[in-house]
Structure 1
């Protein structure tokens, strides 16, 4: 029984004492009480010995009554105690177990405690929460005082002490009693959800809201928040209605309430379920403090078309990853107990298939097969239901030619019968009324069909309110259906505790303590920087220098606040968001010089501006002409060392009703970028957008591209920390970025075709391909670079078969951070089924692990494979696994993976050996060698399925810089197709020396028909030829090469001086500049790469090879001589004459030698590059190294232990000074990048 206890307490105190600070305390358990007591602060006056114990005589009388029984019955077995925790004193006042006591009690007791301590009154009763109230004693040195305390306490049932069936029985009993008193109008009224307040999120508004509340014709209100706005409406329901049924209050809390986090698509790119759950937990805390108890989130629709504006609200294109995120969001919103005042009901939307709208046009028709629904679109909804979501929202679209809100198969057969959903179903905004336009009936007809299909609450349309009684009279519906819908709404309110305390979410004090707090903003910054995806880097520009830097910050979003919080940030205040300019100033102050210019407007399309501004777009055109703004940006860019261009979409260009046919950069911003590229300075593009965009042209010319989405309240601070290396970006895409809008829909887990296209079949026409564009995307699913580099070892399995449902198989792979920075990596496991009873996707994500590795740290990653990972839906829609062979792919994204063949799960033991998948028809280009990932540009190396009709292109992560073309970029030029040649399969198997001569001969005669000049575009841009020359024949296909053997081939060609064939040979092995395959890091091969780069004039590649690899002294001398000779030749071309000694001296001064590390001796001039990076990484782990660690670092860096100790000492002093300065200026400390904790560790 839910109870409110009224106590009238008379306390007589025979004491002489000073006044203590009064603090009223309400807690639920003793542990919390003890913690709070020790945190109490007290003020005292006078000169007294406060530790002296005194004896206090206390007299208490009072009464406990049952509120719902109108003070006529007592609470059985209720105990009232005075407690003093510090001295372990407990005085049992009275046990109210007499049937005729009617709740009255009396107590007198003596308490001996120090003057400074406090007393508490505790009320306990079996099956109810413990209530503890502080006894505030106004102490005086004079006579005793009489204190009158009027306390109203709500005792709620303790869920832990009541079995689930008892809770259900108690709820059913209460709701049965209430519904027996309700009229038909009041029952229908509970099915009516109205909008009132701050936001307009649909075509119509509700009318006569307050009057209908008084009449009991409204069950819930949305778009209203804050206790001041919600409180009066709840007052109407509780004081002006017959049965006093409380209202439920909902709102669109999508990615934060007041503290805005990155948009949902951005949060998904963290691949961090604990972080996503925490974001929902914080959002629920803020929402409940603002009067809300129901949020219209999460949106779990799978979206494969980036033209659809609401792709920004979801988790991308993959059903498995989307399911993990959906469950995490529900857990974050609802917690473990909805009765707690900081939890909300989560709403699964939009059920179902809303993301499959044809042509990406919002509200459009969806037409797909049942097997596609089950396999690719429904899993996230099911995961959210299994996580305990209390509400489902129907979608606008039709399914099997029946609108979702009237689809009985969807809402009854699937949702309630197959999935056992027991919450309530609400429509989307006026979805019932909109079924009239679908052509299935008038308002009365569609309302009846919606109720019969399983809809419980009508949002805004009031079709239920105005037509259900008439439909009941005409026999179109029955009263039992109305009762079922009404019961589900009342059950939701009961679970929220609204019948116990209708005002539990209306607390003005919580708006000051729980909303937009400093801790929440710190969390928002952490979420933002973890969501950023580094799409491209030349390995040199980022991270930016933190001092002695002239930075040009340009773009319409460089100092913008309005668009940072993105779409569906309804309660967020954009004026509190931190811009990029503010964030950099706050982080570095005057350490760098920042030159700022707007450069362009966001858009200049007048009709589009009018449309967006009519709905809160806030797009304001600059008073200057477009050319004047560009000229200003170019002028400051010429004075800078590097340009950061902050460009993208406005928040109104994404979200609901914001579909775009062209998802490229707006033309005015493209003209700005072209002018910036023409300056010759490195340009870093910072993207702000809510969808994948076509960035083929931008990717070609930018030095780096950082995808930041709409990052929320702390966007500017987070972007600044990532740009300047305080945080190493580790986000991974959850949607595919196409090269061109003509490729859409484009997603990684597509099906095969009967005529699959392979990237080497360039002259084949009758294949599933585009003749003017590659099939592969610009950036594939799972893709994301880092400031460091990771290499992947070969896949290992503990056995060669699975024996059924109970069996498990362990897959292991070593991951090594080979770069100079600590960083995070997401190891992704995909599975392919090359032969099944139904066609399967080319690969499907099944597991992943996110790890942090220090520089040079290596870790073994293991995955447990069971038959659950191999299951799929067959033609009967049964979720099954079948016998056969499966292929496991592991890598840093969906394309750049290693693979191995996994023999099928078998009901009986079978001896099937494990083999590599090079013979598999699904994945032709497999390797058992390591796959290295490091920051790179856009070089492509297709390792995807050879059957893939639109396979993604692998993004190389080598640190090789990319030279921009000498010509001026032209944004109007259509994207140029690119392709890649598959690598030769390389094994570590030994080959007899007798074969080496054959291999060398084959390599020497390999490309005699092609000229090396045809490779010039590839090497100068770090890309493969466009179009490439005819693919080379394989080099002795029956023989696999080891790195040593490849090195001997390179040495043979180098000795013969055949640079042309050497370049073709390296290209065939995918070790050309910018390649991701770092298997062949043999010194001879590196020297051969340098030789080819030298002859092609690719000096940036030559510089990269010198700076980032170790050589023997002889090779080092050859490469440095090659470096200087390259610049001598360039200088001779410019002067038109041979160089003299003075000229060569000037060239050496202008182009200093790279600081190279060679084996044997470690020179001090290396300190500024690799040594500093190594020391910095160790410093981040332990700023106070012990002597043993100093000796270890000294040996690794070539310094003395004293030098290492001095470096650490100076670094600590600089950090303390910087933190003190930041605290003085901004109130917070800013230090170096600190690595995140392991995903397996608990989250604070």
Structure 2
């Protein structure tokens, strides 16, 4: 029967639908947008306002289920239980593999669908993190290595970012526009990359040239080529206007120039920030009216509650709210969240499709492809069979250095230590952390310092009861107390919302001195209720999350942070009884038992490990505990989530000096989300491997690479500078002196750099013409050959040097392909450089193909970096302006 609806006369779309419905149309015959118009027409004003915020409530009378638009999928599904955890985005970027990014996006979307269906599926209420609108990828340009969130991006180059983003978005959304797997949300539109400490109120003053040349190309590609279904607008202002209120950017550039027809969501509380930090509007009502009018359809936060006031006083027209709601419900209809569908291709996705063997294999493949070999003196790598290793460093056995941020929960994470023990044999691996991550930063107590029943680790007793009474449901030996239990239970037979654990055993300090012990309870920032923890040493309570109970324990303090600490002094290295209890009753996400030992005993322990080994492998770098999103960190080298220096922390630098002085070969594995100035290591270490934050299988991938089971083939997606002094002021968004395109100094490792266990050569570079008209496509081909004795991957890179003006980049990446070649094998590769790839930006900000002489380099890296390759030149006649 015809669908009974009362349509608002203010909407042209509604009037058209009225005519459509009078011809006896059924609900099943409506397009997604027509169905959205029909639903919105039946809502009250209050209902509409509630639906324009991320936690949209149900409207039972209209059959609309509740839906929270907020879900995360940066490198796998996050914050919703077990999922496949891929390398952090910067590691995926180091693969330079668009096909891999599409596969990762597909798996992420599949697991999102599985969790959506397990939560009830279409027509049922869905809470936060269980939806199908994924707020990723982050495609901001990593313009400065000090930015803490740069790890979430695809690096510093607009073209590389564009191509990887389009592939990831296509994986997330699939090939059916009217019924996508999920909806991707590239963020943070359009110019956003720190500082974290001022992100809620800073105003970016960027030239029209830099905006078009650097900051918007990836977003344009995500919309025009990737057809992303939504976009997130950023916290910051651009030229004095908060981005979420920038009509020229959202309605003009995004919807007008690029033809975007999806919805725009604000970053969380960005609209409230307009009154609190930008002082752009006097109250939330006027801020909400401006953002809604300017094209921000969905408010992550609660500012839109005041739209009633704005509508009443005429700050915004009701038709503008309807427009936003129609966009939102068109998306929900396309996703199939509102009601079950016949022949739903995603209906059968469920538990069997989460963390599958195939998904785990892809996570390992991604980790392997992210590895970048930076140095290999005397071909010390790969290691020979039977080599005995001293495994050192604060990241050797750190779960956080696998997961990064915006992470899911891996069912079986493999740290580097575990990977090396598995690959080389436990008896060939001697482990000692050797140093803390940075001054004042605790790390997980290693398994060498915990003992129970003569075995490394502590005895864990897991209870269904919060008072730890009765018989434990599970008793096991836990090697480390470092668990990510976000939305999961310690074992599948337990209630993930209510359990308790007691760990007991011995603590073995490496030597006398002052020790800071810490219990780190990972708290979700917007959850209610927190877990209770109690730590005792030699039957003496030293940590509790109740301040009054803790006052009797010297050195104990309690704050609102994730970490509770106590300082103790041990006179020797004798064992001490340790007991940790945890009662889980809230929504906290896991627990880590940490310490900050004195430096000298740690170094002595590391030297003993080195003395027993043939080679030292030191896992150094950074951690999501010190670089990330708006962190409460203020220590030397780090502030608010950002870095104040790009040097390796002094604690780790000292460790490298000490172990190299033993005379044993030193292999450095860098685990970080950003570039680190490894000057001393470059001069003195025998090999260096960049592993980023490599995901659940990172330890296996690293072990395979060191053993030669796989050949590292990743390339740097960022420039590694020699010094912080090489960088312009962090707060400046001008690109002069930034990234490989504008930095004129000598880098430590250039963008696109990476070594291999084999060698490659290039030949027969050909262009389709030596002269073309502006607007024509240039065909380029080259042959690359593996001239070494091992199979390996080469990343063929195409760089263009355009006719220069004072602001022109030195060169720009315009093409790349990753290819696997056997020894002696060659491959003919082709590139089609269309007008946009051959274009450059005029000082006024207009993109065009300019007349003049061009230089093209095709090879294994940038020209002048030592990478093999060939050069060709060509000319362009005429002049062609390109669309924004």
Indicate whether the TM-score tops 0.5: yes
Question: What are the superposed Cα offsets for residues 718-737 of structure 1, whole Å, 9 maximum, x if unpaired?
Answer: 11111101100000011101
Q: Does 1:572 align with 2:392?
A: no
Q: Displacement, 1:877? A: 4.2
- Quote the residue 2:174 is aligned against: 335
Q: How does 1:715-1114 map to 2 (within 5 A)?
A: 715-745=698-728, 775-793=745-763, 795-806=765-776, 808-835=777-804, 839-875=807-843, 877-895=845-863, 896=865, 900=871, 902-906=873-877
C-alpha separation in 2, matches of 1:606 and 1:850: 39
- Quote the residue 1:452 is aligned against: 293
- The answer to whether the Cα contact below 8 Å between 1:555 and 1:599 also exists between their aligned partners in 2 is yes
Change in Cα spacing, 1:294 to 1:505, as seen in structure 2 (3 Å) is farther
Q: Displacement, 1:170? A: 2.9
- The answer to whether the Cα contact below 8 Å between 1:305 and 1:746 also exists between their aligned partners in 2 is no
DSSP 3-state at the match of 1:354: coil
C-alpha separation in 2, matches of 1:871 and 1:582: 49
Change in Cα spacing, 1:752 to 1:686, as seen in structure 2 (3 Å) is closer
Q: Does 1:171 align with 2:32?
A: yes
Change in Cα spacing, 1:177 to 1:358, as seen in structure 2 (3 Å) is closer
**What value does the CA root-mean-square deviation take over the aligned residues?**
3.3
* Residue ranges of structure 2 left out of the alignment (5+ in a row): 6-24, 78-82, 117-130, 444-515, 522-559, 564-590, 631-640, 880-884
- The answer to whether the Cα contact below 8 Å between 2:774 and 2:878 also exists between their aligned partners in 1 is yes
Change in Cα spacing, 1:775 to 1:260, as seen in structure 2 (3 Å) is same
C-alpha separation in 1, matches of 2:47 and 2:200: 36
- Quote the residue 1:284 is aligned against: 109
Change in Cα spacing, 1:810 to 1:313, as seen in structure 2 (3 Å) is same
Q: Does 1:487 align with 2:326?
A: yes
Q: Does 1:604 align with 2:604?
A: no
C-alpha separation in 1, matches of 2:658 and 2:248: 57
Change in Cα spacing, 1:318 to 1:327, as seen in structure 2 (3 Å) is same
Q: Does 1:522 align with 2:361?
A: yes
Q: How does 1:198-597 map to 2 (within 5 A)?
A: 218=56, 237=58, 240-241=60-61, 243-257=63-77, 258-291=83-116, 292-337=131-176, 340=179, 343-355=181-193, 364-386=202-224, 387-436=226-275, 437-441=277-281, 442-460=283-301, 462-465=302-305, 467-501=306-340, 510-546=349-385, 548-569=386-407, 571-573=408-410, 576-589=412-425, 593-597=428-432
Change in Cα spacing, 1:603 to 1:476, as seen in structure 2 (3 Å) is same
Q: 2:43 aligns with which of 182, 185, 190?
A: 182
C-alpha separation in 1, matches of 2:255 and 2:875: 35
Question: What are the superposed Cα offsets for residues 472-522 of structure 1, whole Å, 9 maximum, x if unpaired?
Answer: 121111111111111111111111122332999999985420111121111
- The answer to whether the Cα contact below 8 Å between 2:200 and 2:273 also exists between their aligned partners in 1 is no
- Quote the residue 2:80 is aligned against: none
Q: Displacement, 1:447? A: 1.5
DSSP 3-state at the match of 2:820: strand
- The answer to whether the Cα contact below 8 Å between 2:155 and 2:161 also exists between their aligned partners in 1 is yes
DSSP 3-state at the match of 1:735: coil
C-alpha separation in 1, matches of 2:157 and 2:401: 27
C-alpha separation in 2, matches of 1:800 and 1:863: 15
Q: Displacement, 1:878? A: 3.8
- The answer to whether the Cα contact below 8 Å between 2:196 and 2:629 also exists between their aligned partners in 1 is no
Change in Cα spacing, 1:414 to 1:907, as seen in structure 2 (3 Å) is closer
Larger Rg: 1
- The answer to whether the Cα contact below 8 Å between 1:872 and 1:879 also exists between their aligned partners in 2 is yes
Q: Displacement, 1:893? A: 1.4
Q: Does 1:700 align with 2:683?
A: yes
- The answer to whether the Cα contact below 8 Å between 1:568 and 1:655 also exists between their aligned partners in 2 is no
Q: Displacement, 1:67? A: 12
- Quote the residue 2:546 is aligned against: none
Q: Displacement, 1:868? A: 3.6
Q: Does 1:655 align with 2:628?
A: yes
Change in Cα spacing, 1:556 to 1:818, as seen in structure 2 (3 Å) is same
C-alpha separation in 2, matches of 1:857 and 1:185: 67
C-alpha separation in 2, matches of 1:335 and 1:410: 27
Change in Cα spacing, 1:875 to 1:702, as seen in structure 2 (3 Å) is closer
* Residue ranges of structure 1 left out of the alignment (5+ in a row): 1-65, 71-126, 129-155, 158-166, 195-217, 220-236, 754-767, 909-1244
DSSP 3-state at the match of 1:652: coil
Q: Displacement, 1:365? A: 3.5
**Greater share of residues in strand:** 2
Change in Cα spacing, 1:877 to 1:835, as seen in structure 2 (3 Å) is closer
DSSP 3-state at the match of 1:459: coil
Change in Cα spacing, 1:384 to 1:612, as seen in structure 2 (3 Å) is farther
Question: What are the superposed Cα offsets for residues 107-135 of structure 1, whole Å, 9 maximum, x if unpaired?
Answer: xxxxxxxxxxxxxxxxxxxx99xxxxxxx
Change in Cα spacing, 1:835 to 1:352, as seen in structure 2 (3 Å) is closer
DSSP 3-state at the match of 1:846: strand
C-alpha separation in 2, matches of 1:691 and 1:800: 40
C-alpha separation in 2, matches of 1:811 and 1:179: 52
**Greater share of residues in helix:** 1
Higher deviation after alignment, 517-526 or 502-511: 502-511
Q: 2:52 aligns with which of 187, 191, 194?
A: 191
C-alpha separation in 1, matches of 2:412 and 2:290: 46
Change in Cα spacing, 1:357 to 1:595, as seen in structure 2 (3 Å) is closer
Q: Displacement, 1:550? A: 1.4
How many residues were matched structurally? Answer: 681
- The answer to whether the Cα contact below 8 Å between 1:567 and 1:654 also exists between their aligned partners in 2 is no
Q: Does 1:631 align with 2:604?
A: yes
Q: Displacement, 1:781? A: 0.5
Question: What are the superposed Cα offsets for residues 1132-1182 of structure 1, whole Å, 9 maximum, x if unpaired?
Answer: xxxxxxxxxxxxxxxxxxxxxxxxxxxxxxxxxxxxxxxxxxxxxxxxxxx
- The answer to whether the Cα contact below 8 Å between 1:246 and 1:499 also exists between their aligned partners in 2 is no
DSSP 3-state at the match of 1:355: coil
Change in Cα spacing, 1:268 to 1:719, as seen in structure 2 (3 Å) is same
Change in Cα spacing, 1:373 to 1:638, as seen in structure 2 (3 Å) is same
C-alpha separation in 2, matches of 1:588 and 1:611: 32
Which one has more relative contact order, counting CA pairs under 8 Å at least 6 apart? Answer: 2
- Quote the residue 2:696 is aligned against: 713
Q: Displacement, 1:815? A: 2.7
C-alpha separation in 2, matches of 1:568 and 1:643: 32
DSSP 3-state at the match of 1:904: strand
Change in Cα spacing, 1:241 to 1:598, as seen in structure 2 (3 Å) is farther
- The answer to whether the Cα contact below 8 Å between 1:746 and 1:777 also exists between their aligned partners in 2 is no
